[in-house]
Amino acid sequence: MSEEQLSFQAEVSRLLDIVAHSLYSNKEIFLRELISNASDACDKLRYLALTNGDLMKDDPDFRIDLEVNPDAKTLTISDNGIGMNREELIDNLGTIARSGTSAFMSQMENSKDGNNLIGQFGVGFYSAYMVSDKVSVISRKAGEEQGWKWDSDGKGAFTIGETDKQTRGTSITLHLKEDQGEFGEELRLRNIIKTYSDHIPIPIRFKAVKKDEDKEAGEEWATLNSASAIWTRSKSEVTDEQYKEFYHHVAHAYDDPWLQEHFRVEGVHEYSGLLFIPGSKPFDLFHPERKHGVKLYVRRVFITDDCQELIPPYLRFLKGVIDTEDLPLNISREMLQDNPLLRKIRSGITKRVLGLLEKKAEKEAEEYIKFWEQFGPVLKEGLYEDLAQKDDLLKLCRFRSIKSDGWISLADYIAGMKEGQEHIYYISGEDEKALRRSPQIEGFKAKDIDVLVLFDPVDEFWMTTITDFEGKSFKSVTRGGADLGKISGAKSDEDKAESKDENKDELGALLGFMKLTLEGEVKDVRSSERLTDSAVCLVADDGDMDIHLERILRSHKQ
Ligand code: ADP
Ligand code: MG
């Protein structure tokens, strides 16, 4: 049968070179990656079969089988999932499609040590080359007749050609490197599966190697994992390690989760969930096309990992699984789009997550700050996207301010307000350091009044919709009316007032001259108490737009 040779995408070649020569000590994770792929492939077929039962009628029970051949020094991982046709083999195994792998590559650019990065990002299918010097993939797509064989030693090229395969699914054979023989040993494999893949809800089986004398006996398979969906088990049955491994699997992430929540909701609507907040920020958190990482299941059947209705965009850092009892199994993606039940679930999840964050913020303030530093700017998007949650969200917000080195809450700010102070003052811009040096806050500093320093791009947006917190309104220090006179400061106000009176006439003349000179450029020139060291500063009038917002809009030509 004809065979074609094709080159890897240049990036893949580079990746393979790094992987093959890696000194990463946890090489065993290759098995977790391949089993994770096999399990995903079964999920995908199970979903398609909901509307096209013929696809798996001949072989309805999913499984993942491991088989070793001690003589040939090979390990084969087979699944009866969806399989791949020629184009899919070329695309999926010859280019870098997944985000985790491209994140790995971009991190590689500025790091000498690829070893730790392999563990942090996971390199998916390509991790097979940590332990093999050749990999063969035989696959047949469910519903198609033709099987395909993909082969590569991972050195720049692969071959692809037709092959006979009687059953659907994918079979991956690793030709183990000379010094990686341990991955052909049953005990070692059993341990790896227990450690990394116990939560996979499909039986992972090992085919016993037969000795000569029992050649007659039939095939003997032993199941190595618990094979039940982890979120269906009771909490007491699941160890922290198992939760963590499941997180690695669903999130395609290899850090430790910052928070996990395993729950079941009963009553009118029934659903269960296992949600995680990652410990570190994914590199694409702010990409416009970035989606949340929560998979939707209906009665243990995977439906989609792309249900935008399930999670509000400002909680897009969430990862995990929601499994509902109430949707029909054959629900189409279109039906998911404006579904009242999903809306209820989304609002339930939102309240649950915000409640958890509130509890953390209260009980473990330092831990909470770790979350805030990673995901605070995302959460703040909720302040204008989801007005129903605005009060809860404002409570969760943490800020920099001119009087503190760390983070403060709005409640902290209010507790520190001066007598006569009515507003929550803030200054906003792009650069925290520059803001802290800004002449506009001099008067506040002199009076020991705190000012929030806002420098996330998202701040400009919520500041236009949120006017107050617990009865105190937000006010930008760049606005004209910041009336410092009414607030009792630390310094003696009377002394100053006297000396001011003496200069009144001179000041009046100067202001008149400046107004004339700057006519058309500024609306007004006023004397002010807000400056102590600097001579002048720009401010916005009370009814006008904040200066920073005006600049942003102008730069976008609006
Ligand atoms: P990821 O799983 O994150 O997408 P991988 O590198 O692990 O990245 O796999 C790349 C792609 O190859 C998968 O997305 C999938 O489309 C395909 N693939 C890998 N293994 C299998 C398999 N056993 N059956 C079907 N498709 C597979
Ligand atoms: Mg994978």
Q: How far apart are the first and last CA of the chain?
A: 63
HEC string for 477-492: CCECCCCHHHCCCCCC
Res. 494 pLDDT band, cuts 50 70 90:
very low
Query: By alpha-carbon position, which residue is closest to atom 27 of ligand 1?
Result: 37
Query: By alpha-carbon position, which residue is closest to atom 7 of ligand 1?
Result: 124
Q: How far is the CA of 167 from the centre of ligand 2 (A)?
A: 22
What is the CA 193 to chain-centroid distance, rounded?
Answer: 26
Angle among Cα 126, 132, 137 to the nearest 5 degrees reads 65
78 CB less than 6 Å from ligand 1? no
Query: By alpha-carbon position, which residue is closest to atom 18 of ligand 1?
Result: 37
Cα(140)–Cα(146) distance, integer angstroms = 6
SS3 360: helix
> What tokens appear for 401 in the block?
């301010």
* Mode of pairing for the β-strands spanning 472-476 and 423-428: parallel
Q: List beta partners, residue 159.
A: 5, 151
With b meaning 16 or more CB within 10 Å and e meaning fewer, what string describes 270-287? Answer: ebbbbbbbbeeebbeeee
Cα(309)–Cα(294) distance, integer angstroms = 11
Q: List beta partners, residue 149.
A: 138, 161
Closest atom of ligand 1 to CA, residue 79: 23
What number is the average pLDDT over the span 434-452?
91
- Residue 495 confidence (pLDDT): 45
Least confident of 65-74, 117-126, 305-314, 372-381: 117-126
| Closest-approaching ligand to the CA atom of 99 | 1
Res. 108 pLDDT band, cuts 50 70 90:
confident
* Mode of pairing for the β-strands spanning 204-207 and 64-69: parallel
Residues 6+ apart with CB under 8 A from 17: none
- Who wins on pLDDT, 481 or 234? 234
Alpha helices in 197-339 (DSSP H): 240-251
HEC string for 159-207: EEEEECCCCCEEEEEEEECHHHHHHHCHHHHHHHHHHHCCCCCCCEEEE
With b meaning 16 or more CB within 10 Å and e meaning fewer, what string describes 460-499? Answer: bbbbeebeebeebebbbbbbbebebeebebeeeeeeeeee
170 CB less than 6 Å from ligand 1? yes
For residues 512, 516, 517, 522, the Cα torsion angle rounded to the nearest 10 degrees is 100
Cα(537)–Cα(527) distance, integer angstroms = 10
408 CB less than 6 Å from ligand 1? no
37 CB less than 6 Å from ligand 1? yes
Cα(141)–Cα(81) distance, integer angstroms = 8
User: Do 447 and 537 meet the contact criterion of CB atoms below 8 Å apart?
Assistant: no
Residues 6+ apart with CB under 8 A from 292: 308, 310, 311, 313, 315, 316, 317, 318, 319
Closest atom of ligand 1 to CA, residue 37: 20
168 CB less than 6 Å from ligand 1? no
33 CB less than 6 Å from ligand 1? yes
Q: Which residues surround ligand 2, an ion (CB under 5 A)?
A: 36-37, 124
Query: By alpha-carbon position, which residue is closest to atom 3 of ligand 1?
Result: 98
Res. 270 pLDDT band, cuts 50 70 90:
very high
What phi and psi values does residue 248 have, to the nearest 5 degrees? -55, -40
382 CB less than 6 Å from ligand 1? no
Q: Residue 236: what residue type? A: S
Among the listed residues 356, 462, 445, the one whose alpha carbon sits nearest the alpha carbon of residue 399 = 462
User: Do 380 and 459 meet the contact criterion of CB atoms below 8 Å apart?
Assistant: yes
**What's 438's DSSP letter?**
-
Report the chain's C-alpha Rg in angstroms: 31
Res. 128 pLDDT band, cuts 50 70 90:
very high
* Mode of pairing for the β-strands spanning 271-278 and 257-265: antiparallel
| Confidence check: pLDDT of 212 > 80 | no
Query: By alpha-carbon position, which residue is closest to atom 8 of ligand 1?
Result: 124
Query: By alpha-carbon position, which residue is closest to atom 17 of ligand 1?
Result: 92
With b meaning 16 or more CB within 10 Å and e meaning fewer, what string describes 434-449? Answer: ebbebebbbbbbbbeb
Cα(313)–Cα(377) distance, integer angstroms = 12
User: Do 42 and 79 meet the contact criterion of CB atoms below 8 Å apart?
Assistant: yes
Cα(39)–Cα(42) distance, integer angstroms = 5
Res. 166 pLDDT band, cuts 50 70 90:
very high
What number is the average pLDDT over the span 196-206?
92
Closest atom of ligand 1 to CA, residue 77: 23
Res. 489 pLDDT band, cuts 50 70 90:
low
Closest atom of ligand 1 to CA, residue 82: 25
Cα(308)–Cα(338) distance, integer angstroms = 10
Q: How far is the CA of 101 from the centre of ligand 2 (A)?
A: 10
Among the listed residues 393, 551, 526, 366, the one whose alpha carbon sits nearest the alpha carbon of residue 465 = 393
Closest atom of ligand 1 to CA, residue 38: 23
User: Do 548 and 540 meet the contact criterion of CB atoms below 8 Å apart?
Assistant: no
98 CB less than 6 Å from ligand 1? yes
Q: Which of 16, 36, 37 to mutate to test the pocket of ligand 1 (most atoms within 8 A of CB)?
A: 37
Q: List beta partners, residue 204.
A: 64
Query: By alpha-carbon position, which residue is closest to atom 15 of ligand 1?
Result: 92
Q: How many CB atoms lie within 10 A of CB 60?
A: 10
pLDDT digits (tens, 9 = 90+) for 386-397: 999 999 999 999
> What tokens appear for 140 in the block?
């047949």
Res. 164 pLDDT band, cuts 50 70 90:
very high
Q: How far is the CA of 35 from the centre of ligand 1 (A)?
A: 10
| Closest-approaching ligand to the CA atom of 43 | 1
Least confident of 350-364, 480-494, 506-520: 480-494
Q: How far is the CA of 64 from the centre of ligand 1 (A)?
A: 14
Q: Which of 77, 92, 158, 302 to mutate to test the pocket of ligand 1 (most atoms within 8 A of CB)?
A: 92
Q: How far is the CA of 462 from the centre of ligand 1 (A)?
A: 40
pTM beyond cutoff 0.90: no
Lookup result for tokens 């116990």? 198
84 CB less than 6 Å from ligand 1? yes
252 CB less than 6 Å from ligand 1? yes
> What tokens appear for 151 in the block?
């082969």
pLDDT digits (tens, 9 = 90+) for 13-42: 989 998 998 888 889 999 999 999 999 999
Cα(224)–Cα(230) distance, integer angstroms = 15
Q: How many CB atoms lie within 10 A of CB 325?
A: 13
> What tokens appear for 172 in the block?
């991956």
> What tokens appear for 226 in the block?
């618990």
| Closest-approaching ligand to the CA atom of 97 | 1
Q: Which of 29, 47, 125 to mutate to test the pocket of ligand 1 (most atoms within 8 A of CB)?
A: 125
Average pLDDT, the chain: 88
Four-residue CA torsion sign, 96, 102, 105, 109: positive
| Confidence check: pLDDT of 480 > 60 | no
| Confidence check: pLDDT of 491 > 60 | no
Instruction: Report percent pLDDT > 70 for the chain.
Output: 89
User: Do 346 and 309 meet the contact criterion of CB atoms below 8 Å apart?
Assistant: yes
